[in-house]
Structure 1
Amino acid sequence: MSKPDARSTDRGDLLRTTAMITIVAILATAPVAFLAAHGHLAVAVLIAVIAMQSWIPVGIIATTRLFRQRRRLAAAHAREEELDRRVAAGAALEEQLRRELLAAQTDPLTGLPNRTLAERAIAAASAVAAPLTIAFADADGLHAVNANDGHAAGDQYLKAIAVRLLHAAASVSARAQVARTGGDEFMILVPRADTTALRDAIRVALVRPVIVAGRRMQLRVSVGIALSGGGNARYALAQADAAMFTAKRAGDQTLIYDADRDGVPELDGTRPRVRRRDVEPDRDTTARATDGTAPTTRLVCSLDEAATIANALWLAHDRWAAVLQAEPNDSAASTAPVETIDGTPTAEGLDRTAAFAGAEMAKYAGLARRISAAIDAASEQS
């Protein structure tokens, strides 16, 4: 029997007991009062004595039962109130846990869902093979904003980007989701969206400048977009990631994934190694262009790129050599009109720059020779 049913039963028993006592009282006192009123006092007393001997035990039993029923009813009330308190406490705890879970899955700065919810949406789309368009965005210039204007300005910069991406996503689909997946990374998930439409919406949303720390500033965001097409949405995320890094190299652009341009991710979703910083140097073929007089850093590049650097150094060397080979101007033999400005170096000018030009020539020539030697050594080992 449930709690409400037990409480109703207790109330019914209490009412029945009360009615019994009332009936006993009426039956006991009504005849006595009638006889006494009509002058039969002796008979009334006799009947009262008989009634007391007959009905008093019944009244005592009924009264005892009445008190017991009242105690049972009070206990039922107490149990019900305790149950209500426990239910209220459970509801409050559930609400607190819900808020804490929501806070754990929400970025506190922008109010956007975090990576956990984004990953869950990607997994759900993959599970049912639903087409999902993914835009992976990276905020450019955040370090400069933090360094120049403080981290509070950097927070404003990120919140402005979040608002613009929200507007772009909403203009494409009401079902779009925007998440902040990292410090300067954002993700847009749009079911069955056209990649071109999403690209154009993002470009339009980012075109207007914003005010950050009191300064008018252009938002710089590199974005890559890919479509899962009903397949593995996580692999589409890897494609969007590859396109985003191509956009970053090109300079805060919004690009749709192209395998020929961006490379093909691995099956596990790792990014293709298309960036220069991803190339692992070979200890046997990597040469260090240094004369040992200054701190060094490792430069990783292809042989063609190294040859280009060497050629540029030789061209700089030749320009300084041309400065040293310039003939001084003989001002006495000049026939130029007075008002004409003669730009030919004078002997005094050449004397002042000779030392500097010689030093520059030696620097470029020495570095070019070392790089050329490194190219030859690497070519022989390859």
Structure 2
Amino acid sequence: MHFKFRQRVVSLFLGSVIMVSAGIGTANAAESVNPEEELLPSSIGENVLDRMLKQQEKDFESKNPLRNKEITKLTETDETVLFYRAMTEVDNRPLLDFNYEVSDVKVYKNKENQLFVEAYVVRKFQYFEDGTETGFGDFIKLQINKSSKKMAQETAKISSSPIESDSVDNAPVSNIEKEVQLLSISSEKDSEISADEFLENYKKEKNKEPESVTPEQTEEGQQSALKTSSVQKAVYSAAASYTYNRSKSVYYATTHALNPNTRYPYFASAGDCTNFVLQSLHAGDIPMMGDWFMRKGSDGVWKYGYSWIHADEFRKYLLQTGGILMKTMPNTYSNAQLGDIYHYDARNKFGLPITDGVMEHAAIVTKKTSGQVLVSYHTTNRLNVPQEYYSAQEGGVRYLSHIY
């Protein structure tokens, strides 16, 4: 099989993405200045990342993504590896294309002279014959156990060293690559499941019957629906005149799934899934109203309703009289429409993997192809992944919310 691969490495800043906590905006970490850090040329990190991702490219191409783990820093539970196995082993879809982008590169050393590289990495895979791309956007952090002077001298060598795509043997590992350690990636889970467990879950999710009970029909869900603020109990009529433009909503979602819109705040720590989904609905001509809003005040501070940033409060808002019209539908391929929403209930209020009718995650339908419903979401940033993918990782149940 012929594979077409592309790569593009750029040095950009996502600094205009505003990180917000409790409504107070702070600058992106890439723009902040830490007095205990000494910034170094970004080219050092770019060369290391370029080599790492080029090798990932070749190993995915050779159908063995874990062949050169010392260079690629991939593990069996890396989301791109899990997804590769789900597509090739469960859905029987071969990998057709792969490309990547690197941005927001920051290289620095601390007062202990430890060297670090931080970056935002986007990896895109094509498994569907119609050209649909699935994307994974992750913030990563590397530590390099080598002096900055030696790094500057040696990184140019590793980025220019050839990678033999047809070789079945392990690639030679440079001295620099032996010193590179992956400290963190934003897709890491607090309680990682094994690769085999994920694949078994994915198979079960693919074969699961549509939910016949809505979360509001459960005892826990009824109690949750009653716990609304005085603002949320109000009946809104401002939305009576809207006409939902699904194509505009999907265009927005696919544009900003991996590249967050810098005109909105980005909730890196608390979770940005609901904020992203509601930006997409608003882009589809659904107006902000009542407690459902996100806007910057005259003081420059972002102000928003709780239902704009919290998945369960958003769903409760949808269930009220007035406002946005929604109906929970049986989760079938024919019922799902582009621009509809999936709500995920994976854990209870104690963080245990027990469903309780309270939603923890939201995603928007952005593609239907080859009998699969694909969704996009934030935290982590994902583009066109199967609706079953999040459930296979986190468990629980999901509900198809049809937006009128």
Higher Rg of the two aligned structures: 1
Q: Which has the higher contact order (CA 8 A, sep 6+)?
A: 2
Between structures 1 and 2, the one with greater helix share: 1
Q: TM-score, normalised by structure 1?
A: 0.26
Between structures 1 and 2, the one with greater strand share: 2
Q: TM-score, normalised by structure 2?
A: 0.25
